[in-house]
Structure 1
Amino acid sequence: MSLDPRTLTSRLPFRARLATSFAGLFLVVGAALLAFVVVLARHGTVQHVQSMQAMYVDTPAFDPSQFSVTGATGAAGAAGAAGAAGPAHLSAAAPGPNSLSGAVLLQKIDQTVRAVQDTALREMVLWSAVGLVVLALAAGVLGWRLAGRALRPVAAITGAARQISEESLHQRLSLTGPDDELHRLADTFDTMLDRLEKSFESQRRFVANASHELKTPLAVQRTCLQVGFADPLPEGLAEVRDDMLAANHEAEQLINALLLLARSDRGVEATEPVELGGVARLTAAELAPLAATNEVGVKVFEAAGPMVVHGDPILLRHLLTNLTRNAVQYNRRGGFVDVRLDAAAATLTVTNTGPHVSSEKVLDLFEPFRRHGPDRTAQSGHGLGLSIARSIAEAHGAELTAQPRAEGGLVLTLRFKP
């Protein structure tokens, strides 16, 4: 399987990518400079060799002391000429240009110069390449350190953002330093925190006001109905009273559900150990009358000992109550509800029988005022049970998922962090 270099690069941290870019850029520029130097050095040495002057001598009259090399001495001088030194001129007295021994001598000199030239270029390329690789690694290490210094404000912003929650929105980054891109990013983040703090504060005020302004009139209305329409009543008014009291009770339940949803969205302020097995059994006992009315059996199973989690006991009780009530309410006659707790896996599973649910509509069940079935205005429930359950689960760092059963019904799985 072939790997795309872009995919591999994208998996690296930004600091590593920045350091790699520094080293790669240095390597490319150094390689281009090395190639430029080698080409010019090769061209220059060829020109110097072609410009050499030689005179032919007869073999008997040949005396090596008659030759002189200007600009270098010996083989080392020839090697220097091959690199960047001035031209070396060989001169000697010769009796005539047609001497055979002179031609042999010139051929040997030419071969020696070319061998020295090739050796000098090869050594220059070899050691230059080694130095280039070493310097590229040094540039990568230096780039890593420079990238760390450059990204230090970003790390500070990230750390501060992780510490800021709904309960600490008053904190600000207040980044100091020059007015650059990072400083403007921190200022933008602080401005966003200002807007979020105002929004959450407005929500808190709304929840507090709604708790008084909505529930109190309903309580007064219920009292007036019970007192004003006390028995004995004329024929027909008793049924009207019961309908009005039922509507009042439904409205009060809806307001309580909305307030609970708003509270769970705000998160958990204080936690304590909660044994979910006891909560599940208590919930099953409270819903026993509803289960008996719907002819549904509710059972609680525990595996691997007691399951203890840290959280808000009131919210966790509402979580299990909503899951179990939803499983009982949307069930069939003679069906069952199984609540299984696995302490080893830190999971709680609620399985129920009931109508078939398509996998495409499962996610819609967690939306507020969404229920399975075409009748959205049914008298049973408000479509907030699973929405509240998921919100409470997220407030405790847990995950609530749903899967449809092939035989009908749902499997709701609540996973807590180990």
Structure 2
Amino acid sequence: MSRPRALDARDVLSRLPFRTRLAVAFSALFLLAGTALLAFVVVLARYGTARQVAGIEAEPVGDGISLRKVDTTVRAVQDAALEQMVLWSGIGLIVMALLAGLTGWWLAGRALRPVAAVTEAARRIGDTNLDERLALTGPDDELHRLADTFDTMLDRLQRAFDSQRRFVANASHELRTPLAAQRASIEVGLADPLPGHLVGVRDDLLTTNREAEQLIAALLLLARSERGLEETEPVDPTGIIATSITELRPLAAEMAVEIHAPVGTLLPLNGDPVLLRHLITNLLRNAVQYNRPRGRVDVSLTGRTLTVTNTGGPVDPARLDDLFEPFRRLGQDRVGTTGHGLGLSIVRFIAHAHGAQVTARPGPDGGLRIGVTFP
């Protein structure tokens, strides 16, 4: 029965903060060393007093009765002295062990202060304030080198994020402009009247061009959402939801899907209105697009949680995470065949940028039930 208790004690110690464990280790080490020293002193003291008593007994000190009295008195004094020494030494040892623990706590705090600074900086620094550095001062020891390594890593991250921002800013113009020019050339070069066999070609070219523009817009939006929020403002999500539902009515009619108006209210949010509009639109569009004929989409609002449920074929719970990866679609058991597989990826990244949590689980009759809970 003692082994499980030992395991429980080790488990409790492993859950303590490192600073506390270090202080406990100081106290335990001091207590063990003091106990060993006290035992050593007691053994030597008893041995020494026994030698002295033996020497006294060897000397002639009168009759036998006097000798026995002296022996009894010496042994009583010896035992009393040893008891007092053990008692007060034990009390002093416990007090000093506590002082050693407090001293260890203080020393551990000073030694771990740079580590705490690194931890706090890692928690605080994001892609919007990568210019911050630890700039730790002090001796060139292991902790100083750790802080310098952390600052070097931040330098590399800042360069990478700056490069990404420049790419997003340039790609918005460099990619959209040629596609817009291509669309204009198709519309002008293949304007009516056209031979019958070219009308389908023009429509196919325009459809391909439009899908390419939508893909580029989705990629740029995904890159923007990964960068986080630069500015926030109060946003009324209820109005965004109503507008998105109105915009998606034609698509829902084409897919023979019925959208049920939201039930409940969603509290005002603080965030980026453009990104939140894309989050809601992509969430609803995904529910309509990947649905079955004569299916339905239900929208419910509770406090700070937006839930969208659609109908459709069964979804494997083990593959739910794949739906939130870019260009991943479970197309084998879902009706929708258009799209680029970025809708739910955009939803997840925008939600994370706003500190929201996205959950997904299969619907009771097929389809998906996706909830977004804002902080």
Contact 1:280–1:300 (8 Å) recurs in 2: no
> Partner amino acid for 1:8?
V
Superposition deviation, residue 142 in structure 1: 1.5
Contact 2:266–2:306 (8 Å) recurs in 1: no
Superposition deviation, residue 379 in structure 1: 4.6
Contact 1:280–1:339 (8 Å) recurs in 2: no
Superposition deviation, residue 405 in structure 1: 2.1
Superposition deviation, residue 278 in structure 1: 1.6
The superposition leaves residues 203-238 of structure 1 with CA deviations (integer Å, 9 ceiling, x where unpaired) of 111112211111111100100000110111012100
Give the Cα–Cα distance (whole angstroms) in 1 for the partners of residues 42 and 128 of structure 2: 66
Give the Cα–Cα distance (whole angstroms) in 1 for the partners of residues 162 and 187 of structure 2: 38
Q: How does 1:1-20 map to 2 (within 5 A)?
A: 2=5, 4-20=8-24
Counterpart in the other structure of 1:74: none
Give the Cα–Cα distance (whole angstroms) in 1 for the partners of residues 271 and 194 of structure 2: 49
Superposition deviation, residue 166 in structure 1: 1.1
Counterpart in the other structure of 2:168: 207
> Partner amino acid for 1:12?
L
Q: Normalization by structure 1: what TM-score?
A: 0.85
Counterpart in the other structure of 1:108: 69
Counterpart in the other structure of 1:368: 326
In the alignment, is residue 353 of structure 1 matched against residue 311 of structure 2?
yes
Report the more deviating stretch, 387-396 or 118-127.
118-127
Q: Which has the larger radius of gyration?
A: 1
Task: Find 2:52's aligned residue among 48, 51, 63.
Answer: 48
In the alignment, is residue 391 of structure 1 matched against residue 352 of structure 2?
no
In the alignment, structure 2 segments of 5+ residues that lack a partner are none
Contact 2:299–2:309 (8 Å) recurs in 1: yes
> Partner amino acid for 2:232?
T
Task: Find 1:142's aligned residue among 82, 100, 103.
Answer: 103
In the alignment, is residue 174 of structure 1 matched against residue 178 of structure 2?
no
Give the Cα–Cα distance (whole angstroms) in 1 for the partners of residues 102 and 23 of structure 2: 7
> Partner amino acid for 2:269?
V
Counterpart in the other structure of 1:250: 211
Task: Find 1:282's aligned residue among 216, 231, 243.
Answer: 243
Counterpart in the other structure of 1:63: none
Superposition deviation, residue 311 in structure 1: 0.5
Give the Cα–Cα distance (whole angstroms) in 2 for the partners of residues 224 and 301 of structure 1: 43
Superposition deviation, residue 196 in structure 1: 0.4
Counterpart in the other structure of 1:69: none
Give the Cα–Cα distance (whole angstroms) in 2 for the partners of residues 158 and 306 of structure 1: 36
Give the Cα–Cα distance (whole angstroms) in 2 for the partners of residues 4 and 156 of structure 1: 32
> Partner amino acid for 1:203?
Q
Provide the secondary structure at the position in 2 that maps to 1:177. coil
Provide the secondary structure at the position in 1 that maps to 2:57. coil
Calculate percent identity across the aligned residue pairs. 62
> Partner amino acid for 1:406?
P
Between structures 1 and 2, the one with greater helix share: 2
Counterpart in the other structure of 1:84: none
Give the Cα–Cα distance (whole angstroms) in 1 for the partners of residues 76 and 331 of structure 2: 92
Give the Cα–Cα distance (whole angstroms) in 2 for the partners of residues 146 and 280 of structure 1: 57
Superposition deviation, residue 91 in structure 1: 4.7
Task: Find 2:180's aligned residue among 212, 219, 228.
Answer: 219
In the alignment, is residue 313 of structure 1 matched against residue 273 of structure 2?
yes
Superposition deviation, residue 259 in structure 1: 0.3
> Partner amino acid for 1:413?
G
Superposition deviation, residue 103 in structure 1: 3.4
Report the more deviating stretch, 307-316 or 140-149.
140-149
Residues paired across the two proteins, number: 370
Give the Cα–Cα distance (whole angstroms) in 1 for the partners of residues 262 and 203 of structure 2: 39
In the alignment, structure 1 segments of 5+ residues that lack a partner are 55-89, 95-101
Superposition deviation, residue 121 in structure 1: 1.1
Contact 1:174–1:190 (8 Å) recurs in 2: yes
Report the more deviating stretch, 142-151 or 218-227.
142-151
